[in-house]
């Protein structure tokens, strides 16, 4: 016979003592000690714990929490291990509580403090070094860009200086030489003025005409500094247009010089600076042939190779001797 009196049911008032047994990191068991340091880069971590209850041990409930990783408590029944994977490096505290079959909790429980140190690439000094290297790279890129801009500025400045030097040289070849010749003619007219006024008048008239031509020549030279040669790439058309302009300025229209341009090979594009130099040389040769040599026939030959422009030759036949100058 068995008798149950609900007024005198058995009640377990003793809270179960809790104990942490061992800690296993990457299949290696470590001695339990507060403040212990585990190796860096721990992948798998297992903490074994237990609670002592002799009445009904299979009904013992547990609550555990890993401070630094878990936000809330985890409650399990008759499970005596906690598993974690890929924990970041920091300081942790593992706490576990237990209650007996009557629901009496051991609020004090057991605790374990341990540290997972960072790897070398997880340390603050490594992050600072990476940040410093990144800033150094940004600064290097900035310095490189500044140097590129400075080089472009210097190149443009050098181009401007070269252009101004070329303008001065061109003005020297046109205006200054013409005015220097006019000074000698004015001096000759001045010397002839007392004895030969009529001859002096003719010299002055001729000098005035030459002055007008020099001014027109200087104006056309200045206007042509950046026009035709810099924009045109067909030297044949440039030379022919220049020849027509120079021929129209001659006084003797019937005996005006004729220009012939011969092109051999396939025309190829030339760099602006090379095209400009060829144009300046050809312009000076044509001006001298028309206005100083008084040539009857002028031939200019442009020869192109398979890959580049080869050479430019100039042939002028004089009016009196009939010889060619190349």
Kindly report, residue by residue over 28-74, the tens digit of the pLDDT. Answer: 998 778 888 898 888 999 999 999 887 777 788 999 999 989 999 99
Q: What is the pLDDT of residues 193-237, one digit of tens each?
A: 777 777 777 777 777 777 776 776 666 666 555 444 444 456 777
Instruction: Assess whether pLDDT exceeds 80 at residue 135.
Output: yes
Query: Is residue 322 left, alpha or beta, with left meaning phi > 0 and alpha meaning psi from -120 to 50?
Result: left
- CA gap 246, 1 in Å, rounded: 145
Contact present, 40 and 116 (Cβ < 8 Å): yes
pLDDT at 230: 41
pLDDT at 145: 93
**Roughly what angle, to the nearest 10 degrees, separates helices 177-192 and 197-223?**
170
Long-range contacts of 12-15 (CB under 8 A, 24+ apart): 12/53, 12/55, 12/100, 12/101, 12/102, 12/104, 13/102, 13/104, 14/100, 14/104, 15/98, 15/99, 15/100, 15/104, 15/105, 15/106, 15/107
- CA gap 314, 238 in Å, rounded: 15
DSSP states of 130-186? HHHHHHHHHHHHHHHHHHHHHHHHHHHHHHHHHHHHHHHHHHIIIIIHHHHHHHHHH
> What is the DSSP secondary structure assignment for residue 56, as one 8-state letter?
-
**Whole-angstrom Cα Rg for the chain:** 52
Q: What is the pLDDT of residues 259-307, one digit of tens each?
A: 888 888 777 665 666 666 777 777 777 777 776 666 777 888 878 777 6
What contacts 145, CB < 8 A, 6 or more positions away? Answer: none
Q: How confident is the model at residue 320 (pLDDT cuts 50, 70, 90)?
A: very low
Spatial CA neighbour of 94 closest among 68, 76, 120, 71: 68
Which of the two residues, 159 and 129, has the higher pLDDT score? Answer: 129
pLDDT at 48: 92
Q: What is the pLDDT of residues 232-251, one digit of tens each?
A: 456 777 778 777 777 766 55
What average pLDDT does the chain have?
A: 78
pLDDT at 317: 66
Contact present, 166 and 225 (Cβ < 8 Å): yes
- CA gap 298, 282 in Å, rounded: 12
133, 139, 142, 144: CA torsion to nearest 10:
-80
Instruction: Assess whether pLDDT exceeds 60 at residue 324.
Output: no
Contact present, 82 and 66 (Cβ < 8 Å): yes
pLDDT at 123: 85
For the entire predicted model, the pTM comes to 0.44
Pairing relationship of beta strands 44-51 and 36-37 according to DSSP bridges:
unpaired
The Cα-based distances of 61 to 16, 53, 74, 82, 95 in angstroms read 10, 11, 11, 14, 14
Contact present, 70 and 96 (Cβ < 8 Å): no
Q: How confident is the model at residue 95 (pLDDT cuts 50, 70, 90)?
A: very high
């Amino acid at each position: 016979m068995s008798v149950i009196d609900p007024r005198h049911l058995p009640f377990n008032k003793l809270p179960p003592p809790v104990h942490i047994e061992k800690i296993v990191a990457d299949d290696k068991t470590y001695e339990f000690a507060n403040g212990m340091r585990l190796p860096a880069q721990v992948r798998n971590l297992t903490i074994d714990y237990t609670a002592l209850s002799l009445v009904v041990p299979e009904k013992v409930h547990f609550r555990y929490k890993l401070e630094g990783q878990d936000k809330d408590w985890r409650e399990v029944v008759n499970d005596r291990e906690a598993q974690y994977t890929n924990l970041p490096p920091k300081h942790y505290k593992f706490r576990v509580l237990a209650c007996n079959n009557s629901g009496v909790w051991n609020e004090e429980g057991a605790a374990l403090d341990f540290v997972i140190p960072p790897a070398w690439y997880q340390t603050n000094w490594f992050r600072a070094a990476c940040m410093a290297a990144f800033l150094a790279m940004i600064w290097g890129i900035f310095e490189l860009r500044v140097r590129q801009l400075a080089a472009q500025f210097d190149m443009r400045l050098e181009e401007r200086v070269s252009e101004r030097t070329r303008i001065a040289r061109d003005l020297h070849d046109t205006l200054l030489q013409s005015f220097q010749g006019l000074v000698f003619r004015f001096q000759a007219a001045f010397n002839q003025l007392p004895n030969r006024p009529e001859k002096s008048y003719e010299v002055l008239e001729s000098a005035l005409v030459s002055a007008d031509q020099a001014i027109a020549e200087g104006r056309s030279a200045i206007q042509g500094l950046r026009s035709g040669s810099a924009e045109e790439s067909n030297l044949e058309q440039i030379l022919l247009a220049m020849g027509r302009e120079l021929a129209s300025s001659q006084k003797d229209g019937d005996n005006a010089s004729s220009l012939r341009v011969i092109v051999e090979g396939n025309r190829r594009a030339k760099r602006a600076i090379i095209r400009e130099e060829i144009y300046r040389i050809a312009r000076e040769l044509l001006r001298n042939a028309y206005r100083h040599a008084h040539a009857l026939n002028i031939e200019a030959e442009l020869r192109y190779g398979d890959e580049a422009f080869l050479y430019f030759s100039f042939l002028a036949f004089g009016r009196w001797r009939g010889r060619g100058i190349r």
